[in-house]
Structures are given as C-alpha cells and as structure tokens.
Chains A and B, each alone.
Chain A
Amino acid sequence: MMDLHAMLQAANPQSLATNLGPFVIFTLIKMIIVFTVYMLGAALLTLAERKISAWIQGRHGPNRVGGRGGWLQPAADGVKNFMKEETYPEAAYKPLFVLAPVLAFIPALSTFAVIPFGAPLPTRWGLIPMVVADLPVGFLFILAISSLGVYGIVIAGWASNNKYALLGGLRSSAQMISYEIAMGMSTIPVLLLAGNVTLSTIVTQQAYGGWNIVNLTIAFFIFMVAAFAETNRLPFDLPEAESELIAGYHTEYSAMKFSLFPISEYCNMITASALMATLFFGGWDVPFTGRDNIGPYSGWLTLLSIVIFLLKTSFFLFFYIWIRWTLPRFRYDQLMSLGWKVMLPLALAYIVIIAAAILALDSAGIKEGAMYASILGAINMALVVILFAIMDRGRIVSPAYGRARSDRIERLRRISERSPLATGATD
C-alpha cells in the first residue's frame, strides 16, 4: 500500500505541484468537472441556439418544458432521442455504421482537454494548472484530434450506403480538409509571437504583450472563417443541404446515434469558441488588469479568470448563432474557391509578413514590450485597412469572389436603368 501522506505532502502554493499524488487526484477532479460542464454546456447550447434563433425571428422559442424559460428542453430532447427506435438500413455496413457516430463524438470531446480555462489554483500541495492536460504540444494536439472528426463523418456517409449520405460525407470531408489548412496556417503567426505551441504559454504571452486580436487581426479573421467551416456551421453548412442532400451524412441515422452528430457539432463549436478566445482574446486573461500576470495567484483570481474565460467563450458561441441568421450559405464551388484561392494564400502571405516583422524587430534589438507591441499593432492596422477597406471595395456580391469585369457592370447598369424598380440611386 502506498503512503498517502508521503504523496500528499505540502508544498509551496505558488510553485507548480510536482508530486504525483496531487497531480493524479486533481487531474481526476478536473476531468470530471470539465466533462460535466462541457456536456452541460453542449446541452444548454442546443437550447440557446433555438432560443436565439427564435428571438432573431421574432418568436419566443421553446418555453413549455420547465417553466417559462424552457430550461428543461434539452433534457426532454435527450429523453426523446433515447426512446426513439433505432433503425438500421438493410444495405448499411453495420459495424462502421455503429462506429461512425462514436468516431465523430470522441475527437469532439477530447480536444477540450488541452485548453487552459483559468489561472492556476494555489493549494497547499502546490500550484494546480487549470487545464486538464497541459500538453507541451497543446495546439498541435488540437489540430491533430479535430481532424480525426472527419473520419466519423465520412465513414457515416459511406456506411449508410445511401447516395445522399455518401455525397454529404464527401462534401463535408472536402470542406473540413480544405479549411483545416487555412486554420493551421492562420495560427502560425500566433505561434511565432508566442514562440511555443503550448496553449498556456500562448495565454501568458498575451497577458504580457497584449491580446493577439490587436496585433494579428487578419489571422483571427481567417481562423474564425475556418472555424465556421470546420464545425459545419452556417454559412458553410453544406454537408446538410435539405434540398440537395436531404440531411447529408446523417440521413440514415435515428435516435441517439443521430443525436451524437449534433452533439459533437456543438462540442466542436464550444472548442472552436474556446480556441478563438484562447488564441486571440487572451484566454483566461482578465482584461484591463495586470493583476493576473504578476501574481501571487489566489483562489479568487482563479474563479474570476474562469468566469472571464466562460464569458469570452460564450460570446463566440453567441456569435456563431448570430452569424447563422445573418449570412446566407455559400454555394459549394464558392466555398472551395474561398478556402483555396482566398483563405490559404492570405494566410501564407500573412505568415511571411508577420515573420518578417518579427525578424526585423528582433534584429533591431527591440525587446518584447510596449514598443514591440505598438509596432506590430501599427503594421496590423495598415494590413487591416488594405484588406478590409481597399481590397474589399468594388466587388459585386453575386459571384462570391473576383472583381466583376467592366462589361458586366455596364450590362447590369443598363438593366437597372430599364428596370421599373430602379430608383436612380447609383452613387
């Protein structure tokens, strides 16, 4: 029998816990808490999605189950999904058909493990980092695991033995693979600035050197668009196209096996929102204070930082839903050309510019600090103006990319003059 006392011996609360005992125990506790909060968050997100969708459309949304707020709606949905009949299409390849929802669900769950969600908690056994697994390869782990989610979707499509499901699965995998590249590329400037791929280092770097959104706005923009595409959300929800593909890859699924797909989509949304907050909005860094990065750490600071992190994450979750009811969806070819012809070159060019800027600053001997951050901020401002004010101008909305040819504009102008709907307002 192990000596518990020896394992749980007291240590300096302000330095990282090094003993095995506290590490194992606190990791187990964190796993349970994070898993519970995560699943609860995913369930509440289904309600939030329906509520906010309803409010944007001038409706009330679900408000019958569990009082006026409809708080128990997710529970009712869950019970319904468990009670429903499980159907197996005759032609489906059963082992993979059963495996596919699991393959989609597990990567969605595991990615959150490496995201730091709060300032380290001082205990009498040492400092406990508020992250389930503070992997040294943090961000690479997320990229690797989240791309495994494609397997679940493409296998679901294939195993259903249904042409719509197969096409939906193919579309989805093509979309996710295309945008994964832009997503990975867009984060390289962040990694260059932090000099590390560990997410807690990235958070600490932002606490010192300013949030990345201020210095790397374009990287954030690319990351955000790619995250929307990765999670198959509007305006990129092409795998589920009612008119073309019925419900896409989950056409043949029913009951809880079907439900696992939306749940993993919501889990991915939470992870993507948490990542946006972590990589570009300082993670758990409390805004407008330097308190959290000089220490000493305390329980209250941990609590505050967790609340801040939750607020940042839920803003992006709201943003997802907000965008869903604002932008119409892309056509498939528009999606592909946006990914390959716009996002990828943009991300690559941005890496070159930021890498050059960092190299120039380093060789000029400027230390990381206010000067460094303000020079980067100025470069960023110039790039934002070039991209969003100059390059965005003079484009026709209808084709999603490319400058309209002048003869085409002439033709449109003539049509508009002849049209009885014309009001003459063409400034």
Chain B
Amino acid sequence: MAIGVKVLDRPIEEVSYIRATLKGMAMTFKHLLEPKVTVQYPEAKWQISPRWRGTHRMLTTETGQAKCVACGLCPTVCPANCIKLIPGEDEKGNRYPLVFEIDEFRCIFCGYCQEVCPEEAIHVGRHYENSEYSRAGFVYDLERLTAQTHPVCEMWDPDDPKGE
C-alpha cells in the first residue's frame, strides 16, 4: 500500500445509524474549528520549493555582461528545442551570444540548461507569476533574461537528496 494512504475498514455488521451520525457530526465540527488551509493568494503567497523550476534568468558578471560564453551546450541539451543561440566573437577572441532567446511556451522546465551550463550563466528561476498579453511576449530575449531578478533554482544535489 502506498505511503500515507489511510485504509478504512468496511462497515460489515453491528452498525448503528445514530452512533455513525454522531461520529460524523463530531468529525465535521472538529473540521469547523481547525485552521484553514486556503492561502489568500494575492496577499499571501505560497512558499515555493528551493528546487522550483520556473521561468529563466541569465546571471551577469560584475560589469553587467551576461555570463554566457555561447558554447552551445544548452540548445544542444534542451529536449524541447526552445533555446535559440547565435554565437558571436569579439576582437579578443571571446565568444558571446549575439542572439539568445528562450521560448518559455516551448520550454518544459526540465532544468537541463542550468545543469549543463559550464559558466553557471543560465538558470531556471523560483518564480511562477508569468502573464503576457501576447504569445510573442513569452519569447524572452537576452535583455529580458538578464533583467530578471527573482531567485534561481537550487538544483538537486545527489549528496543531499532531500535538500536538508
């Protein structure tokens, strides 16, 4: 039996209606007084997990440049094929992304891009309130990705599987 599933005995014989009704009423009255589970959403917000994988964020260096070196690993690993990357190179031979776009509608939020990134540049974020007036608004470009400020996901650590 799965963990936490409460199995009730089938009432078989010697069952009293009055007793059953009174028991039920005691149960509902207990619930009447118990603390409520509803989160008053716009005022109070749900505490999301540190491993929550939401919309992306590109981290930046101290100078405000994106950390991305346009290595091309993330578009390769992406199972949903939602990252568009066109690499460029400056006069010193440093690679940087000319175009870096993530289609958040195609994204399945697996977090592989964060795992594969050698520079710890692209991250999935701990964020869930994303609404836009158009579908095009969900294609986040480099400027949008670097401008995001929400906390980023702590990926699963094999040494600490329960995140303690």
Contact = CB atoms under 8 A, between A and B. Distances in A.
Interface of A: 52, 54-60, 322-323, 325-327, 388, 392-397, 404, 409, 412-413, 416, 419, 421-423, 425-426
A166 B17 CA distance: 33
24 contacts: A55-B32, A56-B28, A56-B31, A57-B31, A58-B34, A58-B36, A58-B38, A60-B36, A325-B28, A326-B21, A326-B24, A326-B27, A327-B24, A393-B14, A395-B15, A395-B17, A396-B15, A397-B15, A404-B13, A409-B12, A412-B10, A412-B12, A413-B13, A416-B12
Contact of A60 (B28, B29, B40): B40
Interface string B30-57: 0111101110100000000000000000
Contacts of B11: 396-397
Nearest to B15: A397
A58 B13 contact: no
Given A59-B38, A60-B38, A397-B20, A425 B28 contact: no
Contacts of A322: 25, 28-29, 32
B119 to A, nearest CB: 47
B37 A59 contact: yes
Q: How large is the interface on B (under 10, 10 to 19, 20 to 34, 35 or more residues)?
A: 20 to 34
A392 B14 CA distance: 9
Contacts, number: 75
A409 B11 CA distance: 11
Interface string B68-88: 000000000000000000000
A396 B13 contact: yes
Nearest to B16: A392
A133 B15 CA distance: 47
Contact of B21 (A56, A327, A421): A327
A396 B17 CA distance: 9
Nearest to B20: A397
Given A52-B32, A55-B36, A394 B9 contact: no
Nearest to B35: A58
B18 interface: yes
Contacts of B136: none
B17 A392 contact: yes
Contacts of B15: 394-397
Question: Which 10 pairs from chain A and chain B are nearest by CB?
Answer: A326-B24, A326-B28, A58-B37, A392-B16, A55-B32, A59-B38, A326-B25, A56-B32, A60-B38, A388-B18
A29 B57 CA distance: 70
Contacts of A423: 7, 9
Nearest to A387: B18
Contacts of B31: 55-58
Contacts of A60: 36, 38, 40
A325 B19 CA distance: 17
A59 B27 CA distance: 16
B13 A409 contact: yes
Nearest to B30: A56
Contacts of A325: 28
B10 to A, nearest CB: 6
Given A56-B32, A326-B24, A397 B37 contact: no
Contacts of A422: 9
B7 A421 contact: yes
Nearest to B37: A58
